[in-house]
Amino acid sequence: DAKTTQPNSMESNEEEPVHLPCNHSTISGTDYIHWYRQLPSQGPEYVIHGLTSNVNNRMASLAIAEDRKSSTLILHRATLRDAAVYYCILRGTGGGADGLTFGKGTHLIIQP
Amino acid sequence: NAGVTQTPKFRILKIGQSMTLQCTQDMNHNYMYWYRQDPGMGLKLIYYSVGAGITDKGEVPNGYNVSRSTTEDFPLRLELAAPSQTSVYFCATFRVPEAFFGQGTRLTVV
Percent of chain A at pLDDT above 90?
A: 82
pLDDT beyond 80 at A1: no
CA B36 to chain centre: 7
Decide if A49 touches B, using CB distance below 8 A: yes
In contact, B100 and B1? CB cutoff 8 Å: no
> What are the backbone angles phi and psi of residue B108, rounded to the nearest 5°?
-120, 130
What pLDDT, on a 0 to 100 scale, did the predictor assign at position B49? 95
Predicted local distance difference test score (pLDDT) of residue A69: 96
Segment A13-48, tens digit of pLDDT? 999 999 999 999 999 888 999 999 999 999 999 999
Nearest to B90 among A43, A96, A105 (CB): A43
The answer to whether the beta carbons of residues B33 and B58 sit under 8 Å apart is yes
Q: What is the pLDDT of residue A112?
A: 93
pLDDT confidence tier of residue A96, bands split at 50, 70 and 90: low
Residues A35, A37, A42, A46: is their CA dihedral positive or negative?
Answer: negative
Question: Which residues in B have their CB inside 8 Å of a CB on A?
Answer: 4, 31, 33, 35, 40-45, 48, 50, 56, 58, 90, 92, 94, 96-104
Distance from the B81 Cα atom to the nearest Cα atom in chain A, whole angstroms: 23
Give the pLDDT score at A99. Answer: 78
CB proximity A105 to B under 8 Å: yes
Mean pLDDT rounded to a whole number for chain A = 92
The tens-digit pLDDT sequence of chain B (110 residues) is 689 999 999 999 999 999 999 999 999 999 999 999 998 889 999 999 999 999 999 999 999 999 999 999 999 999 999 999 999 999 999 998 899 999 999 999 99
Q: Does residue A95 have a pLDDT over 60?
A: no
Mutate to test the interface with B, among A37, A59, A98, A104 (most CBs of B within 10 A): A98
Nearest to A102 among B40, B43, B103 (CB): B43
Residue B93 has a pLDDT of: 95
Which chain A residues have a beta carbon less than 8 Å from that of B104?
41-43
Whether pLDDT at A94 is above 90: no
Contact predicate A36/B99, CB 8 Å: yes
Say how far residue A33 (Cα) sits from the centre of its chain.
8
- Partner residue facing A104 (CB), from B35, B41, B101: B41
Out of B40, B48, B100, whose CB is closest to A99? B48
pLDDT at residue A100, rounded to an integer: 86
